[in-house]
Structure 1
Amino acid sequence: AHDIADALWKKLKKCRVEIRQGNVKEVLTENGSVIGVRTENDVFEAHSVLLACGGASYPGTGSNGDGARLAEKLGHTIIPMRPSLVALTSDDEDCPAMQGLSLRNCGVTVTDNEKKKKPVYTDFGELLFTHFGLSGPTILSASAHMRHMAPGRYTVTLDLKPALTPEQLDQRLLRDLEKNKNRNFSNSLDELLPQKMIPVVVRRSGIPPEEKCNTITREQRAVLLDVLKHFTVEISGFAPLSGAIVTAGGVSVKEVDPKTMQSKLIPGLYFAGEILDVDAYTGGFNLQIAFATGHAAGENL
């Protein structure tokens, strides 16, 4: 946010911090310790260097992974960087058909199709259908748990009516069908579902759109109930890293002193923020990581 950037900028001026801009090409060392940095045009001597270059999620700001590459040249282990808190892509044609539809109260369950054990993630809240798949707060949080992404490995299952038990929802369906008994099935779901979702649910239920509500069988109703409580979307992958809210991976924290943020390998080299292999849920936690590690490094370098 501009307000936050302005506040930090004013503080720098107040403290008379000298700001030099340049693209750092190399962190210079001598006898295993930091002695400065080399940019495209200059060499800056320094007994301490702080790498706080971010991850790779916002290349427009300069966070393009260069910091991790600088650290790797100095011998640091880099945990492969991947997107976290990111939208999910899907080849399911139903997603673009519902593009722009936001569900506020939706149950979300993510299962790993290879392990077939308990779900890797469950949540309740807001979700958004996009032209490429799924997004929204619940999906961003879910992505942090999908650590072995591969096409078809994960399935997202949505409970479209999480406030109702299957028995309660069945009673609701009976009432709606009775209320619209002389209407076509496709015209009976207006009070139950958003308009964009009705054609998709009708198709998934297998009930002909033109079938009259008073002819729908118990078996057909059971299939419709299952679609509403278990609306599945097969996931093909993550949206690009450049669009992720945060980067997972980076400099291994095993090689950094957590009290001072100094490298355990190179005296005088410090790290702070998203360049480190640390990531958390959305909601201010990643900002807290940046501020806390930045403060620790600043106090000690």
Structure 2
Amino acid sequence: MLPFDGGTMNTKYDVIVVGGGTSGMMASIAAAEQGAKVVLIDKNKKYGKKLLMTGGGRCNVTNNREVDDLIRHIPGNGRFLYSTFSQFNNFDVMDFFESHGVSLKEEDHGRMFPVTNKSKTIVDTLVETATQLGVTLLPNTTVKSLLFDADHITGVKTEFETIQAPCVILTTGGKTYPSTGSTGDGYRFAKSVGHTITPLYATESPLLSDEAFIHSKELQGISLRDCLLQVLDNQGKLVTEHKMDLLFTHFGLSGPAALRCSSFVNQLLESQPDVTVVLDCFPERSKEELLQSITTKLHQSKKAAKNELAAFLPDRLLVFYLEQLGLADTPANQLTEAQILSIVEKWKAFPIRVNKTLPIEKSFVTGGGVNTKEIQPKSMESKKKNGLFFAGELVDVNGYTGGFNITAAFCTGHSAGVHAAQEASYFQF
């Protein structure tokens, strides 16, 4: 095999990684472990800027579910990751950090965090590992364009120099939190070699509503544990549902249940003006069970309904529901069977109209991206241009909060790094 010769270049490497986030750092480590000469370029002063923000600054580094369950929590093209996860999965992510001296702990819903409760622990470990493996770090450097010929990638052009390599891995992220450097550069690079970008939309994003009770802020700050939130299309058909915590805000709904519904809401909003979500405050109890448990209680009390039912829901939410039915101050023992049923129905199925979500720039994850049909699932290599690889949020894959997106980023980064290094080795003497 002849040595790689892409023309006159200032600097030569085996693998160039563009983007120093979750997938980029892991890609550079994986490539260097294969013996490749690697450079990791990032426009920020420090690496892992977005990773530092995850998990409320604690870094939900992965989730410990089995792979099939993991993929079920990645509704945006999760099946594309089967090949990736067969090579490197969430358990390998945990092993990686444990083997580098980072102890992890499990919290609710299988979420894994560093025992230190600091994202910096994770970022520092990745940067230190890359450095120890000889990865060249180029922070504060912006890549302007890809360099390529008819058949193959030949390198990148930065604002300072031209860098040559037979393999380039793009890990530039989506369009969320542009302050972290995710400004959509990767989409432009991918298009320059013929890739298509599927429509971009916000996922894992709070839901915005124009309902009067949202504007009045009367429910702002109320949180519910393990409630059920359903998304219905304009025919009333169930699109998705999630049983998790929910938070009423000054603009609408947030918390895990709302965030997990957001990608489905945004896709429906492409063809309808608003979307109905339905809140069930008692998903573990049937309408009949609730009806039976409160009927006897109410009929035996002379207190106002809002006082007798105070144990069931947060005070402001209970009063809100009862006021909507005109029953807040009605003596409990004067409620009719029909009125009690209307209370239960309100608790079990409260519709809320959602007009939009926060924009991509203020959302957690970007939906859409480089079309997965144009990427080799095993290697993460482009089908359009030899030597070009993709990983992380730039690809049209998105999951729920809870460590699923970070897992996809770590694992696609690792696969891209390994295969890019292997391909680059063919260009060495």
User: Of the candidates 183, 192, 198, which is equivalent to residue 64 of structure 1?
Assistant: 183
Corresponding residue number in structure 1 for 2:5: none
CA deviation digits over 1:98-121, x for unaligned, max 9?
Answer: 1111101312222112x433x111
Retained in 1: the 8 A contact 2:169–2:389? Answer: yes
1:1-301 matches, cutoff 5 A: 1-21=119-139, 22-95=141-214, 96-113=217-234, 115-117=235-237, 119-146=238-265, 147-149=267-269, 152-181=273-302, 183-207=303-327, 209-301=328-420
Highest relative contact order (Cα 8 Å, sep 6+), 1 or 2?
2
Instruction: Please provide the CA RMSD for this pair.
Output: 1.9
- Which ranges of structure 1 fall in alignment gaps of 5 or more residues? none
- Which ranges of structure 2 fall in alignment gaps of 5 or more residues? 1-118, 421-429
Supply the distance in 2 between the matched residues of 1:218 and 1:179 (Cα, whole angstroms). 14
Retained in 2: the 8 A contact 1:112–1:153? Answer: no
Distance 1:176 1:243, change over 3 A: farther
CA deviation digits over 1:234-256, x for unaligned, max 9?
Answer: 11111221232221111111111
Supply the distance in 1 between the matched residues of 2:260 and 2:281 (Cα, whole angstroms). 18
User: 1:53, CA displacement in angstroms?
Assistant: 0.5
Retained in 2: the 8 A contact 1:87–1:139? Answer: yes
Given residue 78 of structure 1, which amino acid in structure 2 is its aligned partner? I
- Structure with greater helix percent: 2
Given residue 127 of structure 1, which amino acid in structure 2 is its aligned partner? L
Supply the distance in 1 between the matched residues of 2:333 and 2:409 (Cα, whole angstroms). 60
User: 1:152, CA displacement in angstroms?
Assistant: 4.8
Supply the distance in 1 between the matched residues of 2:183 and 2:300 (Cα, whole angstroms). 58
Retained in 1: the 8 A contact 2:299–2:334? Answer: no
SS of 2:259 mapped into structure 1: helix
Supply the distance in 1 between the matched residues of 2:314 and 2:405 (Cα, whole angstroms). 34
Supply the distance in 1 between the matched residues of 2:154 and 2:124 (Cα, whole angstroms). 31
Supply the distance in 2 between the matched residues of 1:88 and 1:74 (Cα, whole angstroms). 36
Identity rate, percent? 38
Distance 1:174 1:14, change over 3 A: same
CA deviation digits over 1:136-161, x for unaligned, max 9?
Answer: 11222222333222565421111122
Give the stretch that moved more between structures: 184-193 or 87-96.
184-193
Supply the distance in 2 between the matched residues of 1:253 and 1:137 (Cα, whole angstroms). 27
SS of 1:37 mapped into structure 2: strand
Supply the distance in 2 between the matched residues of 1:53 and 1:30 (Cα, whole angstroms). 22
SS of 2:268 mapped into structure 1: coil
Given residue 228 of structure 2, which amino acid in structure 1 is its aligned partner? G
User: Structure 1-normalised TM-score?
Assistant: 0.91
Supply the distance in 1 between the matched residues of 2:406 and 2:219 (Cα, whole angstroms). 33
Retained in 1: the 8 A contact 2:208–2:251? Answer: yes
Count of residues paired in the alignment? 297
Retained in 2: the 8 A contact 1:149–1:238? Answer: no
Q: Which runs of structure 1 show a deviation greater than 4 angstroms over 4 or more consecutive aligned residues?
A: none
Supply the distance in 2 between the matched residues of 1:245 and 1:51 (Cα, whole angstroms). 20
Retained in 2: the 8 A contact 1:152–1:235? Answer: no
Supply the distance in 2 between the matched residues of 1:67 and 1:105 (Cα, whole angstroms). 38
SS of 2:414 mapped into structure 1: helix
Retained in 2: the 8 A contact 1:55–1:274? Answer: yes
SS of 2:169 mapped into structure 1: strand
